[in-house]
């Protein structure tokens, strides 16, 4: 063999290994599949790469439901991406318990200025045993009742403040052959919102928390859960929902089509829906307003308490990441001032303080969240995965009148006893 060639090859090999040492590649997985969502993250990544030469970020975008499975398989196989997105709550806690997620508390205490930019409520879904495992970044997604102002005006309806008010609205709409609520409950989480709010309005925020943490005698068999189930079924029996609600698919947009066509007057949904409507049917948005879930007479809940998440989409660093420092630094770019403002431009409300918002609906969401005494994370995301799945099953069955409220509560409690210590 030609010596020169060997030497050249060795040199090349040596050069490439030193290059490989200097270069770090970080994987970043997220689920922002819209063009704007993708661009906002890619821009943030570009700013990070410019400020940190030698660090490459490999961004992978996956649609929502596929993502859940994909992440789980990757983490289970020991191939977790350095930075990954989650919804916090029970599923994230599974990863934490399995020692797969980096504790960001030391990093945040070193970067106090960064930490203090966020609304305090934003940390609740990613804080476990006093430690923080994720950065809230994308949006404030809390459930509100969106309604068609024109329909309300046509039938002389007032925004309902209490449950009896709501039942009156339902009755009037029914007289006129309009469904009160649009609901696409095939995936079960949209219907779960009704149940979560009813539990809160009847029993206050602690009933659910105590049942989950098994403290202060908390239990899923608590009369509050049974009563919530009963009231949900009362609503069904009053004919409040569109036809076929338990079989309709939210992702395909049918629940919104029912609103657009005037066949349904309201929808209980996360505030992201306003952005979706703006993209899908900007004309209709002029007709849309929203109100908070009504109170229940004699209930302990506060009308200002919200169900949802302040921060919706949290970014965490995996323990298998070879360069956790760079990954932690990347987190700060994902929600820097520029990224926050870009998201506002995309009709979203990232959970940072002092956002400049001009859109009136966004402003009202901002107020709603700032005066909320507490934010309850979506039940299906807050609960441990097994319980969350059962909760979705039982709430769909309650809505389908195929289980009694007592039986649904008992099923939850039986499983809770088994898997929660």
Partner 1 sequence: MSLITPAKPVRVPSRTRQVRSQNWVAAAFLLPALLTLVVFLVYPLLSSFRLSLLNWNGLGNTARFVGLQNWADLLHDRVFLTAIRNNGVLAGLSILVQIPLGLVLAFLLDRAGRASRALKVLYFLPLLMSSVAIGTVFRSIYDPNFGPLNSVLRALHLDVLAQDWLGDPRLSLIAVIAVVCWQNVPFYMLLFLAGLSSMPAELREAATLDGATEPVIFWRITLPFLQGTIRSAMVLSLIGSLRYFDLVYVMTGGGPSNSSEVMATYMYRTVFSSFNIGYGAAISSAMFIIVAVVAGLTLRATRRFETEV
Residue list 180-219, contact with partner 1 (CB under 8 A): 185-188
Which of the residues 341 through 380 are near partner 1 (CB under 8 A)?
Answer: none
Least Cα distance to 398 among 192, 242, 207, 200 occurs for: 192
Residue count, binding to partner 1 (CB under 8 A): 39
- Does 224 bind partner 1 (CB under 8 A)? Our answer is no
Backbone angles phi, psi at 266, to 5 degrees: -140, 160
Binding flag, residue 397, partner 1 (CB under 8 A): yes
Q: Which lies closer to partner 1 via its Cβ, residue 42 or residue 281?
A: 281
Which of 32, 86, 100, 192 is the binder for partner 1 (CB under 8 A)? Answer: 100
Strands 306-310 and 140-148: antiparallel
Contacts of 27 (CB under 8 A, 6+ apart): 57, 58, 60, 81, 82, 83
Q: Which of residues 140 and 255 has its CB atom nearest to partner 1 in the complex?
A: 255
Q: Provide DSSP, 37-53.
A: HHHHHHHHHHHHHHHST
Q: Is 254 in the site for partner 1 (CB under 8 A)?
A: yes
- CA–CA distance, 135 with 86 (Å, rounded to integer): 10
Q: Which of 23, 79, 98, 367 binds partner 1 (CB under 8 A)?
A: 98
Q: How far apart are CA 86 and CA 95, in angstroms?
A: 10
x-marked contacts with partner 1 along 277-316 as a string, rule CB under 8 A? ----------------------------------------
User: Rounded to a whole number, what is the distance in angstroms from the first to the last CA of the chain?
Assistant: 69
1, 2, 3, 99: which one contacts partner 1 (CB under 8 A)? 99
Q: Residues 226 to 245: which contact partner 1 by CB under 8 A? A: 242-245
State the number of CA atoms in the 13 A half-sphere of 165 facing the CB.
12
* 167 touches 266 (CB < 8 A): no
Q: Which of 165, 359, 393, 410 binds partner 1 (CB under 8 A)?
A: 393
Least distance to partner 1 from the beta carbon of 347, Å?
A: 27
Q: Residues in the site for partner 1, rule: CB under 8 A?
A: 68-69, 72, 75-76, 91, 94-95, 97-100, 185-188, 242-249, 252, 254, 257-258, 263, 385-386, 388-389, 393, 396-397, 400, 402-403
């Amino acid at each position: 063999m030609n010596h020169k060639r060997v030497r050249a090859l060795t040199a090349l090999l040596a050069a490439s290994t030193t290059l490989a040492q200097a270069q770090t590649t970080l994987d970043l997985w997220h689920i922002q599949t819209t063009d704007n969502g993708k661009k906002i993250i890619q821009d943030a990544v570009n700013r990070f790469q410019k400020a940190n030469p030698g660090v490459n970020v490999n961004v992978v975008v996956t649609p929502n439901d596929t993502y859940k499975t994909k992440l789980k398989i990757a983490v289970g196989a020991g191939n977790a991406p350095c930075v990954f997105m989650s919804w916090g709550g029970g599923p994230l806690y599974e990863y934490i318990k399995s020692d797969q997620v980096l504790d960001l508390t030391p990093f945040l205490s070193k970067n106090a200025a960064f930490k203090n930019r966020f609304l305090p409520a934003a940390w609740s879904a990613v804080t476990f045993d006093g430690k923080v495992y994720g950065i809230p970044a994308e949006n404030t997604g809390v459930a509100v009742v969106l309604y068609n102002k024109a329909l309300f005006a046509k039938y002389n309806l007032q925004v309902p403040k209490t449950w009896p008010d709501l039942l009156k609205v339902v009755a009037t709409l029914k007289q006129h052959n309009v469904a009160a609520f649009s609901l696409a409950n095939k995936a079960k989480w949209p219907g779960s919102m009704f149940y979560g709010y009813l539990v809160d309005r009847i029993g206050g925020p602690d009933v659910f928390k105590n049942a989950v943490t098994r403290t202060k005698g908390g239990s899923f068999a608590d009369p509050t859960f049974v009563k919530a189930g009963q009231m949900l079924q009362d609503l069904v029996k009053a004919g409040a929902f569109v036809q076929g609600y338990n079989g309709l698919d939210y992702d395909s947009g049918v629940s919104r089509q029912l609103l657009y066509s005037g066949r349904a007057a309201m929808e209980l949904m996360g505030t992201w829906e306003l952005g979706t409507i703006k993209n899908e049917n900007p004309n209709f948005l002029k007709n849309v307003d929203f109100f908070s879930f009504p109170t229940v007479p004699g209930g302990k809940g506060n009308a200002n308490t919200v169900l949802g998440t302040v921060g919706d989409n949290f970014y965490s660093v995996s323990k298998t990441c070879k360069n956790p420092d760079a990954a932690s630094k990347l987190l700060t770019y994902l929600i820097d001032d520029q990224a926050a403002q870009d998201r506002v431009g995309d009709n979203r409300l990232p959970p940072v303080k002092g956002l400049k918002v001009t859109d009136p609906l966004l402003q009202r969401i901002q107020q709603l969240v700032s005066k909320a005494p507490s934010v309850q994370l979506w039940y299906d995301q807050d609960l441990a995965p097994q319980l969350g799945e059962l909760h979705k099953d039982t709430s769909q069955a309650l809505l389908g009148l195929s289980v009694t409220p007592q039986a649904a509560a008992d099923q939850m409690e039986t499983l809770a006893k088994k898997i929660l210590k």
